């Protein structure tokens, strides 16, 4: 009863914030199609709700600089803009006309190629890492060396069964290599895609969630110095033969605040689209709660089997968090469960799992629990699940 009350009280504080997130399409300040012989057809959207901004090009989240540069490229090529309520953004007076949409994304492809390196993992996952075009080759090389040494130093400080172990490294001349323990059973994403044969059952998914929660709790609270992972995602979760989870890839990890009075560190945004904390993207302030947000997205992914952004889905289902919250709010959690998982799970258990995931993915960091609390709540859910299985 006490556990249920905690969930209810915290969810009450989160629901309003997430309703704003679900309503983002209705608070569009900028939503337009673009068409010309040069441009092809693209969709650009600028969303603003209570000062929280998101910029999209064809469903992909981009930063403001890329967004404005895209508009300027379209504008310079005499592209025609249609269907948005305003007429001025990024310092441009945009020409409007009503035209039917046709296929084609020439300008977008060119812009993304110039501004980003797209790492398409497993032909599905899009991770956009913006190039530092202003840096000289020497400066870029030095930055890569710094990132490498940072990862080595962080890995050397950690020792936990749910984190990959550092066995050694090579740093000689232009050669850099990190040697970690071998985890033989592939990534969590591969298992969710069914690439490893047997589909994960609910108990395995719950245990994996608990393992990841334990790993992040250790990094945030019990490591020699607080570590924020910054890239928690399904392709960075490795599974052992017994389906224990190990969190990998510390390339984006950062040490947390050193001063006890310091609440955050200010840093450039790094991570993977779909898992990124919106408050971190907006303020450039990184805290352990950024990992909590990513974990919430991951938990929804584990339960639904869907990636954070599903570009091939209908508009209502493209952003998995928004789709999941809508279904959860309507009381249709059974419809959220991964259809590949042919197992009937108690609705109360599903409500608690999705409720916790949505709480972690609250748009405002103060509404999110810390990872220790998340782990404790998952243990409570596990106990309830075991009881429900015994009842049959």
Q: Which residues contact 89 (CB under 8 A, 6 or more apart)?
A: 29, 30, 46, 68, 71
Q: Distance between alpha carbon 65 and the CA centroid of its chain, in Å?
A: 21
Question: Can 231 be counted among the known catalytic residues?
Answer: yes
CA 79 to chain centre: 32
The answer to whether 320 and 356 are in contact (CB under 8 A) is no
Distance CA 189, CA 358 (A): 20
Whole-angstrom Cα distance, residue 212 to residue 176? 28
Supply the DSSP symbol for 191: H
Phi, psi (deg, nearest 5) at residue 72 = -70, -35
CA angle 386, 159, 156 (to 5 degrees): 150
CA 40 – CA 34 distance, rounded (Å): 8
Distances (CA, A) of 284 to 53, 233, 266, 279: 13, 20, 6, 8
Classify burial at 147, counting beta carbons within 10 Å of its beta carbon; exposed 0-12, middle 13-18, buried 19 or more: middle
Q: Which of 211, 231, 249, 277 is catalytic?
A: 231
Contacts of 179 (CB under 8 A, 6+ apart): 166, 167, 168, 169, 170
Question: In which element (H, E) is residue 127 found?
Answer: strand 125-130
Catalytic site positions: 231
């Amino acid at each position: 009863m006490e556990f249920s009350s905690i969930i209810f009280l915290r969810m009450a504080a989160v629901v309003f914030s997430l309703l704003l997130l679900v309503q983002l399409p209705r608070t569009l300040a900028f939503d337009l199609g673009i068409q010309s012989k040069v441009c092809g057809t693209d969709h650009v959207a600028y969303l603003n709700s209570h000062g929280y901004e998101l910029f999209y090009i064809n469903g992909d989240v981009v930063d403001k600089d890329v967004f404005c540069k895209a508009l300027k490229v379209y504008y310079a090529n005499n592209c025609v803009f249609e269907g948005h309520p305003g007429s001025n953004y990024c310092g441009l007076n945009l020409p409007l006309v009503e035209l039917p949409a046709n296929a084609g994304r020439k300008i977008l492809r060119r812009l993304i190629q110039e501004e980003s390196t797209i790492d398409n993992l497993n032909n599905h996952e899009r991770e956009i890492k913006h190039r530092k075009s202003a840096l000289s080759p020497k400066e870029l090389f030095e930055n890569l060396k710094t990132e490498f040494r940072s990862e080595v130093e962080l890995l050397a400080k950690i020792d936990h069964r749910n984190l990959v172990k550092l066995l050694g490294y090579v740093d000689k001349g232009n050669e850099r290599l990190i040697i970690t323990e071998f985890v033989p059973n592939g990534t969590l994403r591969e298992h969710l895609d069914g690439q490893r044969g047997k589909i994960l059952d609910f108990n395995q998914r719950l245990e994996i969630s608990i393992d990841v929660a334990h790993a992040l709790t250790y990094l945030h609270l019990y490591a020699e110095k607080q570590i924020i992972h910054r890239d928690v995602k399904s392709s960075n979760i490795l599974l052992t033969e017994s389906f224990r989870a190990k969190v990998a890839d510390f390339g984006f990890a950062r040490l947390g605040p050193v001063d006890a009075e310091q609440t955050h560190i200010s840093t450039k945004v790094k991570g993977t689209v779909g898992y990124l904390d919106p408050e971190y993207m907006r303020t450039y302030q990184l805290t352990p709660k950024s990992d909590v947000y990513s974990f919430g997205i991951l938990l929804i992914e584990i339960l639904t089997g869907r990636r954070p952004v599903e570009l091939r889905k209908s508009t209502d289902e493209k952003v998995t968090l928004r789709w999941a919250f809508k279904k959860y709010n309507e009381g249709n959690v059974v419809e959220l469960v991964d259809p590949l998982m042919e197992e009937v799970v108690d609705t109360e258990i599903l409500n608690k799992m999705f409720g916790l995931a949505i709480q972690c993915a609250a748009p405002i960091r103060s509404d999110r629990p810390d990872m220790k609390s998340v782990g404790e709540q998952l243990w409570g859910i596990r106990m309830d699940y075991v009881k429900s299985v015994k009842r049959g």
